[in-house]
């Protein structure tokens, strides 16, 4: 998720991941639609029960 401020985040991309994998995975993303000079990003995860968890945002 991305935002030009610390409050209003929107989904910009998604990735399907394998749950319970014992193999280390690496993911990357390049934001080609910058909305401001300073951007903020956070990750959103859905567990096997369908519940969402959000990471802290980074600048």
Q: CA nearest 27: which of 40, 39, 43, 38?
A: 43
| pLDDT value of position 40 | 93
What are the tens digits of pLDDT across the range 12-57? Answer: 888 877 666 677 878 888 888 788 889 999 998 888 788 999 999 9
Average pLDDT over residues 3-13: 88
| pLDDT value of position 45 | 85
Q: What is the pTM of this model?
A: 0.70
Number of helices and strands in the chain (H, E): 0, 4
């Amino acid at each position: 998720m991305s935002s030009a401020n610390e409050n209003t985040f929107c989904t910009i991309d998604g990735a399907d991941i394998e749950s319970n994998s014992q193999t280390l995975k690496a993911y990357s993303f390049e934001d080609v639609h910058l909305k401001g000079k300073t951007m903020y990003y956070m990750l959103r995860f859905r567990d096997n029960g369908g519940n969402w968890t959000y990471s802290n945002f980074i600048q």
